[in-house]
A and B are shown apart, each in its own frame.
Chain A
Amino acid sequence: MSSITTLKYTLQLADNVLIMGQRLAAWCGKGPILEQDIALTNISLDQIGQARSLYQYAALIINNMPAADKAHLFNAPLLQEKINNQHTITEDDLAYLRDAWDFRNCLLVEQENGDWAYTVARSFFFDRFQYLLFTALQKSTDSTLAAIAEKSLKEVQYHIKWASEWVIRLGDGTDISKEKMQQALQARWEYTGELFAMNAIEQAAMQANIGVDVSSLQQAYQQQIEAIVNEAGLQMPTAAWMQTGGKNGVHTEHLGYMLAEMQYLQRAYPNMEW
C-alpha cells in the first residue's frame, strides 16, 4: 500500500479533530456557566490530543518518504519548501504551516460556533459520526490508526453523552429553547451529507484496508440521531441539498478566518516556542 494514501488519510482524520477542537476552544472563558465552559474545553483538549497523535504519525510518514515522493505534497509554499529542504517535519508544521486549501476537514466542523444551540448541534452531528468512524477504524490493518481509534473512541463516548443530553435538555425545555434547538439542527444538517460521501482519499484507504467505508455508516447514523431527536421531542431535520467540498479542500469562508487566528504566531514568528 502506498504511504501517500496512509499520509493523506491520516491528515484528513487529524484535520477534522483539530478544527473541531479549535472551534470549541473558542468558548473558553465565554461559557454560559463555569461547568459548561470546562466541559467544552475538556472536549476540545481530547480532540486536540487526538489530532496530535495523528499529526505525529503523519509527520513520521513524511520524514520516512523518499524525497521524490514528497516533492509536491502540499500547496502551501512555506511547508513544501521545508520538506524539500530535507527538514524534519513535526506535528506543529502540519497544523500551522498549511493553508486552507490543504486542509481536508469536513465543512461541518469549521462552521462558526453561533449560539449555544448551534454549538450543541454541530457537536451532536460530529461526535456521533466520530463514534461510528472510530468503532470501524479499530479494525484498520494499519496498527497505529487502529490504536488511535481505540483510544479516541473512549473519549468520544463522553462527547456524545454531553451533546445528546443537551439536545434533549433544550428540546424538552422551554418553548424558546425548543425553537432554538430545532433551528440549529435544521441549519447544521446540510453539512452532514458530506460525512458519508467518499472522497478519493477515503476510497483509496478503504481499498487498502486501512480506512473505513464511511458510506456504510450512514444508515446507523441516521437511526441513532433520530432516536435522540425523537426523545428530545424535536423534528428530524431535512435538507433539500447537502453541502460538500471541505473533504476536497474547498472550504467555506469561515475556515480561513479561523486559521488566520490559529496560525498567526507561527506565521509572524517562524519556529517561535514558549
Chain B
Amino acid sequence: MITVDNCWAYLEEVADPEVPVLSIVDLGIVRAVEVDSTIETIRVVITPTYSGCPAMDVIAMQIKMCLLSKGAKKVVVENQISPSWTTDWMSEKGKEKLEAYGIAPPKRKSAAPLGLFEEDAVTCPKCKSVDTQLSSQFGATSCKALYKCNHCQEPFEHFKCH
C-alpha cells in the first residue's frame, strides 16, 4: 500500500504543463494528500493558481495517471479554492529551478499588492543585472509578467508575486 509520504514524493514527478521545470509540489498547489487504506483510495486536494488557469484539468489527470502507475487502486482529485493560492507557497527549491530555467522567481511576499504605476524590482535571470524594466504586467500565462533587461538587452519573464 502506498503511504502519504510516498505520494508526496511521487507528486514531485508531476510537472506544471505550462512551466515544466516546476513540479506541482514546488508550485505549492498540492494542499493535502490522504490515504484511506480501508477503501484503497488516495485523495489529493489541489488549488488553482488563477481562476482561469487552463492547466488545472491536465494537472488533475496527470496526478491520477502518476499515482495509478505507482500502484494506487483509486485516486480522487479535489479542487479547493480557499484559502486562495499564493506564490508564498512556492518552495525555495522551486524558485531556484525557475531562475536557472530563465524565469525570474517571485521574491516579495504577496500580502501587499502593487500600487498604481508601481513595479517589482526584478533581477535579470540571465546576466543578474538589476537594471531591468517591466514591459507588461501580463504575459504568456496568467502567472507571469514580461520584463526586459537594460543591461544584456534580453527580454525575460517574471513569475509574479500573487
Interface residue count on the A side (C-beta < 8 Å): 30
Interfacial chain B residues near A39, Cβ < 8 Å:
136-138
For residue A122, CB closer than 8 A to chain B, the reply is: no
Proximity bits, A195-226, B CB within 8 Å = 1, else 0: 00000000000000000000000000000000
Contacting residues, chain A, for B136 (C-beta < 8 A): 35-36, 38-39
Which of B12-20, B48-56, B123-131 contacts its partner?
Answer: B48-56
- Choose from A48, A53, A148, A161 the contact partner of B137 (Cβ within 8 Å): A161
| B153 at interface, CB cutoff 8 A | no
Contact for B50 among A49, A148, A157, A162, CB less than 8 A: A49
Partner of A154, one of B116, B146, B162: B162
In the complex, what residue of chain A is closest to B83 when comparing beta carbons?
Answer: A150
**If the complex has contacts A161-B116, A165-B116, are A49 and B52 also in contact, measured as CB distance less than 8 A?**
yes
A45 and B142 within 8 A (CB): yes
Q: Which of B19-57 contact A (CB under 8 A)?
A: 48, 50-54
- Tell me the minimal C-beta distance from B161 to chain A in angstroms: 11
The answer on a CB contact under 8 Å between A151 and B84 is yes
Asked if A123 is at the interface (CB within 8 A of a chain B CB), the reply is: no
User: Is A50 interfacial (CB 8 A cutoff)?
Assistant: yes
A42 within 8 A of B: yes
| B window 46-93: CB within 8 A of A | 48, 50-54, 81-84
Q: A157: shortest Cβ distance to chain B, in Å? A: 5
Asked if A158 lies at the interface with its beta carbon under 8 angstroms from chain B, I say: yes
B116 and A53 contact, CB distance less than 8 A = no
- Contacting pair B116 A38 (CB below 8 A): no
A165-B114 Cα distance, complex, nearest whole Å: 12
Chain B residues within 8 Å of A46, by CB: 50-52, 142
In Å, the complex CA distance between A48 and B95 comes to: 29
Q: Are B162 and A38 in contact (CB under 8 A)?
A: no
Q: Inside 8 A of B135's CB, which chain A residues have their CB?
A: 35
A43 at the interface (CB under 8 A from B): yes
Interface residues of A in 150-193 (CB under 8 A from B): 150-152, 154-155, 157-158, 161-162, 164-165, 168
Residue of A nearest to B162 (CB): A154
CB-CB under 8 A from A52, the residues of chain B are 51-52
* B24 CB to nearest A CB, Å: 18
Please tell me if A146 contacts chain B, counting CB pairs below 8 Å.
Answer: yes
Contacts of A161 in B (CB 8 A): 113-114, 116, 137
B4 nearest CB across to chain A (Å): 25
Contact check, B137 vs A157: say whether CB atoms are below 8 A apart: no
Given the known interface contacts A38-B138, A165-B117, A168-B116, the answer about A45 and B162 at a Cβ–Cβ threshold of 8 Å is no
Pair A150/B82 contact, Cβ less than 8 Å: yes
Interface residues of A (CB under 8 A from B): 35-36, 38-39, 42-43, 45-50, 52-53, 143, 146-148, 150-152, 154-155, 157-158, 161-162, 164-165, 168
**24 interchain pairs (CB within 8 A)?**
A35-B138, A38-B140, A38-B146, A42-B142, A46-B52, A46-B142, A49-B51, A50-B52, A143-B82, A147-B81, A148-B81, A150-B81, A150-B82, A150-B83, A150-B84, A151-B84, A152-B51, A155-B51, A158-B137, A158-B138, A161-B116, A162-B137, A164-B116, A165-B116
